[in-house]
């Protein structure tokens, strides 16, 4: 199978502090929902920063779709088909939902640097935005200010911005953080049904959500991978129970 992502013996040090240790993993382009779990401070977000290029690796190599991107900047990794979201929602608060989405779509379009026409005059972008908003059940709120949306709706908007450029692999950093249970269920449903053609690498702190979403689970502890397998294998892993899952059946 073709590899979407490969990490080979990746380390990350901040002085004497080692936050990623000998991380080696491979995710094929055919895999769809790989979830990373681990206790606070395990190095999950740091790992995302190494994959996306926001932090340089101290040792080892990162490959995207067969290309060595270890020293490649973020924007070039994006052009290869990588996108990500963050733990903290970061949207343009004084723009409408539609305007936020159109800006994200324009950034990945040939008209990205054309500033002399009104953004809404680009019909092809508007049609893409309309399709996404209707799929995400937010079309009726397209002209709402971002600040008028619920926190759950803003997380969905961030998800839309992540997929606006048509990525091949999408990193989701705790997508359900801060959501109510009903909002989290709604977002999980969106991820399961609307992102069937994208390889997802997901950090998730909620164990119920993690096991609902995952086809494969990777467990991090103190910067190292301690388990990697199907959800049923992780549930029954004695080491994982010891360091993270407790008595979870």
We report the CATH number of the domain holding residue 168 as 3.40.50.300
Number of structural domains (the chain) is 2
Are 190 and 159 spatial neighbours (Cβ–Cβ below 8 Å)?
yes
Residues pairing with 27 in the sheet: 5
Q: What share of the chain has pLDDT > 90, as a percent?
A: 53
Q: What are the structure tokens assigned to 159, written together?
A: 């998800």
Model confidence band, residue 9 (pLDDT cutoffs 50, 70, 90): very high
pTM of the predicted model as reported, rounded to 2 decimal places: 0.86
Is residue 248 scored above 50 in pLDDT?
Answer: no
Average pLDDT over residues 191-213: 89
At 137 the three-state DSSP class reads coil
Tokens 């449903």 appear where?
189
Q: Domain range for residue 181?
A: 3-87+153-245
Average pLDDT, the chain: 88
Average pLDDT over residues 84-97: 81
Q: What are the structure tokens assigned to 211, written together?
A: 């096991």
- 226 and 167 in a single domain? The answer is yes
Of 108-117, 158-167, 216-225, give the lowest mean pLDDT range.
Answer: 108-117
Closest Cα partner for 92 from 56, 62, 119? 119
Q: What are the structure tokens assigned to 157, written together?
A: 């908007």
**Which of residues 234 and 91 earns the better pLDDT score?**
234
- 36 and 64 in a single domain? The answer is yes
- 162 and 234 in a single domain? The answer is yes
pLDDT tens-digit readout, 14-70: 999 999 999 999 999 999 999 999 998 899 999 999 999 999 999 999 999 999 999
Dihedral sign of CA atoms 193, 197, 198, 203 in order: positive
- 166 and 72 in a single domain? The answer is yes
- 80 and 126 in a single domain? The answer is no
Q: What share of the chain has pLDDT > 70, as a percent?
A: 90
Report pLDDT for 249.
39
């Amino acid at each position: 199978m073709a590899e979407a992502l490969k990490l080979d013996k990746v380390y990350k040090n901040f002085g004497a502090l080692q936050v990623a240790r000998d991380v080696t993993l491979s995710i094929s382009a055919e895999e769809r929902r790989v979830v990373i779990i681990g206790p606070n401070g395990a190095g999950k977000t740091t790992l995302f920063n190494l994959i996306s290029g926001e932090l340089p690796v101290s040792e080892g190599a990162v490959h995207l779709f067969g290309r060595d991107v270890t020293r490649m900047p973020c924007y070039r990794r994006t052009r290869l088909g990588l996108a990500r979201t963050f733990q903290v929602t970061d949207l343009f608060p004084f723009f409408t939902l539609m305007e936020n989405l159109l800006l994200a779509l324009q950034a990945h379009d040939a008209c990205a640097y054309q500033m002399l026409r009104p953004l809404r005059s680009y019909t092809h972008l508007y049609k893409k935005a309309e399709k996404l908003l209707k799929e995400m059940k937010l079309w009726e709120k397209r002209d709402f200010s971002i600040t008028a949306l619920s926190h759950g709706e803003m997380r969905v908007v961030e998800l839309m911005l992540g997929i606006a450029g048509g990525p091949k692999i999408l990193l989701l950093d705790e997508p359900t953080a801060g959501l109510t249970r009903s909002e989290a269920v709604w977002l999980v449903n969106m991820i399961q049904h609307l992102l069937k053609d994208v390889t997802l690498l997901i950090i998730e702190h909620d164990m119920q959500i993690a096991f609902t979403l995952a086809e494969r689970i990777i467990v991090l502890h103190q910067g190292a991978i301690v388990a990697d397998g199907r959800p049923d294998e992780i549930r029954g892993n004695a080491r994982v129970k010891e360091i993270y899952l407790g008595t979870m059946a």
